[in-house]
Amino acid sequence: MHRGLALFLKLLLGLGLFVLVLFNGLVDQSFIKDDPVARFWLLAGTGALVLTDAIWTAVAVFIGRGKAARQERIRLFLLPVIREVARRHRIDITLLGASVFRVRRRFGLFGRKQLERVDRYRMSDLPQQSKVVWVSGKGAIGEAWRNVAIEHVDWRPIQARWGSGKVKTEADWTRVPLEDRCGMTMAEFLNIVDKYAEVLAIPILKPNTTRCDGVLSLDVPIRANVGSLVLNDVDTVEKATEAATVIHNVL
């Protein structure tokens, strides 16, 4: 949305400058008579666009720096959790992933609430970020938000039943039961079905309340080829919960 607005401002600015230059050229070549009022409004309009573009650019830079600083702080809390899981279960740490989401309305004050990804941390490039709109009740992440409770999902049985190209058409999709879909659309399901072995989702609560303001998730990808579950042990859940508690201050 922000990128789209920035592009729109650039296009308006370019159009305004073009019209101003064209007007001056036509006047200089005596194709049209000079109109002081028209010239004033062209200059005023173009000047306003230049000012707006400059303000928007400054705000974008400020927000970008704030976002980068927030991500650095979040990763200070995520890395010890991931490192401990890798150490205890002898997993390649570069494969483990973690994401932090916060609750936001999609279109301003009256839009539908959904989870906005604040940070995604994985040392390797694969698997890529999932293209899922996380809403209340969708997947382990959405369930943690809706139920305000820790959710753990062993995704391997679902992957075995429906992954590896078993679902290609709408007809195939109709055979997938609702409990295996986990609230996802066909496109979302296909985007993640072959990615993960298990997912742990921890609600990020407002201090001293039961209000869920976000979700912390940890995942083990299928390609890690781990024979057993590693995210549901007590120590991992405790450390992830402690991280989620502190991360609330950064959201």
DSSP state of 93: G
> Taking 90 as the threshold, does the pLDDT of residue 241 lie above it?
yes
Of 93, 195, 201, 196, the C-alpha closest to 142 is: 201
> What's the pLDDT tens digit per position in 20-38?
777 777 777 777 777 787 7
**Continuous H helices in 90-155:** 139-147
Q: What is the pLDDT of residue 135?
A: 94
Instruction: Provide the whole-model pTM.
Output: 0.73
The model's confidence at residue 197, banded by pLDDT at 50, 70 and 90, is very high
DSSP symbol at 227: S
- How does pLDDT run across 77-94, given as a tens digit for each residue? 888 899 999 998 999 999
Model confidence over 97-118: pLDDT tens digits?
A: 999 999 998 776 677 899 999 9
pLDDT of 10 reads: 72
- Mean pLDDT confidence for 197-216: 94
Encoded amino acid at 12, one letter:
L
**pLDDT class for 3, splitting at 50, 70, 90?**
low
Q: Report whether pLDDT(178) > 80.
A: yes
Question: What amino acid occupies position 38?
Answer: A
Whether the pLDDT of residue 221 is over 60: the answer is yes
pLDDT at 25: 74
Euclidean distance between CA atoms 191 and 128, whole angstroms = 10
Spatial contact of 226 and 91, defined as CB atoms under 8 Å apart: yes
Rounded Cα gap, residues 246 and 202, in angstroms: 12
- Number of Cβ atoms within 10 Å of the Cβ of 219: 26
